[in-house]
Structure 1
Amino acid sequence: MPFRECISQIPRNCLLAAGVGLAAVGVGVYLRGLAGAAGLATLGAGVCLMGAAVLRERSRERIKVGTVSKLFIYPVKSCRGVSVAEAQCTKLGLSQGEIKDRHWIVIKEDGHQVTGRQEPRLVLLTASCKDGHLFLNAPDMPEMIIPTKLPKSNPVKNCRVWGADIHGRDCGDEVSKWITTFLKSSQPYRLVQFEPNMVPRKSKDAEMPFRITDEVAYPDASPIMLLSEASVEDLNTRLQKKVTIYNFRPCIVVSGCNAFDEDSWKEVDIGNVRLASVMSCPRCIFTTVDPETGIIDMKEPLETLKSYRLCDPSEKNIYKSSPLFGVYYGVDKTGVMRVGDPVYKLV
């Protein structure tokens, strides 16, 4: 059992007494000039500090603020989300078995990313994994099947995602032709995969508020984006043409709370996972792509969001003119979450 877990099982009075006792013994021995005293004193101080941290953790209150109603994984960046009942929450986002969030991406021949902003029909592409293979389906196209463990003979491409360099192993010429044909592109596109031995991007390179520990493969910036059903319902009261949760591509959808309550959840526990709020999610024209038709509107719901969801003037250096909808989270503790799990905020 890890040291911190062991300590968390010890009654607080014993914990503090042990720390103080060790520190006192260390100081006493040190005063007598015996070897090892400084180390003993340091150990005692360390136990005290660890004990204080555990006590602070125990004293924090968990308040239920909602329930997980949906979980989504988007295997290929900009593709349709896969709804799952249970997901592993890793440092790089949600996964379930071989399906990992945004671990595949479409690129140009020069390595620059291709997303639904440039190719809206990408939202019609569905991806699933089974028995060591990625299955790609799209309207009026035959099913494409490629291995999830690519041959090492396939070249590793240098990719460019939001100004940052990252690697991806090329999935081959056949899938390249398939995607290029589906998107009716005049230039060839390629599909690449992020592999476990590759170096992820630092979220902070894409959005300044992220911590140095936050990392992603091919998402825009955040390993997790959370949105409440109530926030979408509130938006729909202001729209002539209604939208769905699918316009906004969240990883975690929460029910049972008021609109925009999620803006104030600084830390949340879901299952045995702990997430830390980093920043609001700034929105762009991708929200105007109809997830059912792949047609981009260029205006709504973005214009309506701009009418009431702009940032505070003091944060314009971060968000500029983008409206805010949903929250980006970093992963402080990995684990498993399920649909139906209560969502607790920590206070």
Structure 2
Amino acid sequence: MSLVLSQIYLYPVKSLGGIQVQAWELDAFGLRLDRRWMVVTPEGRFMTQREFPQMAKIQPRIDACGSLRLRHPELGELEVPAADPTRPRQLVTVWQDAVAAIPVGAEADAWLSRAIGAPCRLVWFPDDGERQVDTRYARAGERTAFTDGFPLLLLSQSSLDDLNRRLARPVTVRCFRPNLVVEGALPYAEDGWREIAIGGKRMRVVKPCSRCAITTVDPETGKFSGKEPLATLATYRKRDQKIYFGQNLIHQDQGALRVGDRVEVR
């Protein structure tokens, strides 16, 4: 069976809901508009579902012009204004990285503060932003926006199927927040990949993805659902006190990806 790209997801706002698409473009940062917005505390520290699982209930939508809308079950919809590049930039932190981001505006801040139930701000990663990917795995000049650390995250459907066979209650791919889902490989074959091409776009497989409590957040309810799937993954995917599932990628080419694209392992 040949390997194909079966699903594509982007997450415009870090730690909010994801969007499934049939085709999307790769730009310098990864999937276009993926993690270009981020919710931060008033002091500028990134906020995620690890501490605020209710963020999962906020669903983004991107229109044809690239504008962002957010929808919350109780608050309705917010049209997010484009970030003004002339505004003074705010230093924000993502893990150990400091980034000069552009504040979006008071209306978005107030809406998100109500939706999340904690004071926060919405910021934009500018086109000229510089966040170098960890040079232990990346080349100089390879950038990412507000991801946890790498431009792309790949998951194998067969690996997820293998995990679900071990679980009393299967989980969906949404719990793992991948960008790219591949079908046709043996379970965990991706652990041995080093270079692949998807639709002819070259990518390096640079690091397995270590997993955290976000995988235990129910994407529908925005609540922690228990210890699974982490507890089961820990029985067979734990190494050096970390649990690994999926692979981080760095792309070498830009251009369109489409569901159904052939995946080549080089």
TM-score, length of structure 2 as denominator length: 0.94
The AA in structure 2 aligned to 1:307 is T
Query: For 1:192-220, what per-residue CA distance to the aligned partner results, in whole angstroms no more than 9, with x for missing partners?
Result: 01111222x22217xx4344443211000
2:196 is the alignment partner of 1:196: no
2:5 is the alignment partner of 1:74: no
Find the counterpart in structure 2 of residue 60 from structure 1: none
Matched-pair contact (CA < 8 Å) for 1:90–1:331: no
1:223 aligns with one of 118, 135, 151:
151
1:146 aligns with one of 73, 80, 96:
80
Measure, in 2, the Cα distance between the counterparts of 1:211 and 1:308.
32
Measure, in 2, the Cα distance between the counterparts of 1:324 and 1:341.
26
1:176 aligns with one of 63, 88, 109:
109
Query: For 1:259-287, what per-residue CA distance to the aligned partner results, in whole angstroms no more than 9, with x for missing partners?
Result: 11111221111113100110111111111
Measure, in 1, the Cα distance between the counterparts of 2:2 and 2:238.
24
Q: Secondary structure at the match of 1:257?
A: coil
The AA in structure 2 aligned to 1:180 is S
Find the counterpart in structure 2 of residue 297 from structure 1: 225
Query: For 1:266-323, what per-residue CA distance to the aligned partner results, in whole angstroms no more than 9, with x for missing partners?
Result: 1111113100110111111111111111111352111111110023xxxx3xxxx111
How far is 1:225 from its partner? 0.6
The AA in structure 1 aligned to 2:132 is K
The AA in structure 2 aligned to 1:124 is K
Measure, in 1, the Cα distance between the counterparts of 2:53 and 2:258.
30
Find the counterpart in structure 2 of residue 259 from structure 1: 187
Structure 1: any 5+ residue segments left out of the alignment?
1-63
The AA in structure 2 aligned to 1:195 is P
Higher helix content, 1 or 2? 1
Query: For 1:238-259, what per-residue CA distance to the aligned partner results, in whole angstroms no more than 9, with x for missing partners?
Result: 1112111000000000112221
2:35 is the alignment partner of 1:102: yes
Find the counterpart in structure 2 of residue 345 from structure 1: 265
Measure, in 1, the Cα distance between the counterparts of 2:125 and 2:224.
28
- Equivalenced residue count is 265
How far is 1:167 from its partner? 1.7
Aligned Cα RMSD in Å? 1.6
Find the counterpart in structure 1 of residue 47 from structure 2: 114
Higher strand content, 1 or 2? 2
Matched-pair contact (CA < 8 Å) for 1:89–1:273: no
Matched-pair contact (CA < 8 Å) for 1:72–1:82: yes
1:236 aligns with one of 164, 167, 170:
164
2:69 is the alignment partner of 1:135: yes
Q: Secondary structure at the match of 1:215?
A: coil
Measure, in 2, the Cα distance between the counterparts of 1:210 and 1:288.
29
Matched-pair contact (CA < 8 Å) for 1:76–1:105: yes
Measure, in 1, the Cα distance between the counterparts of 2:133 and 2:210.
14
- Where relative contact order (Cα < 8 A, 6+ residues apart) is larger, the structure is 2
Matched-pair contact (CA < 8 Å) for 2:71–2:78: yes
Q: Secondary structure at the match of 1:160?
A: strand
How far is 1:132 from its partner? 5.4
Matched-pair contact (CA < 8 Å) for 2:85–2:126: no
Measure, in 2, the Cα distance between the counterparts of 1:247 and 1:132.
25
The AA in structure 2 aligned to 1:242 is P
Q: Secondary structure at the match of 1:327?
A: strand
The AA in structure 2 aligned to 1:333 is D
2:100 is the alignment partner of 1:167: yes
Measure, in 1, the Cα distance between the counterparts of 2:181 and 2:246.
10
2:244 is the alignment partner of 1:324: yes
TM-score, length of structure 1 as denominator length: 0.73
Identity, in percent, stands at 35
The AA in structure 1 aligned to 2:29 is L
2:197 is the alignment partner of 1:269: yes
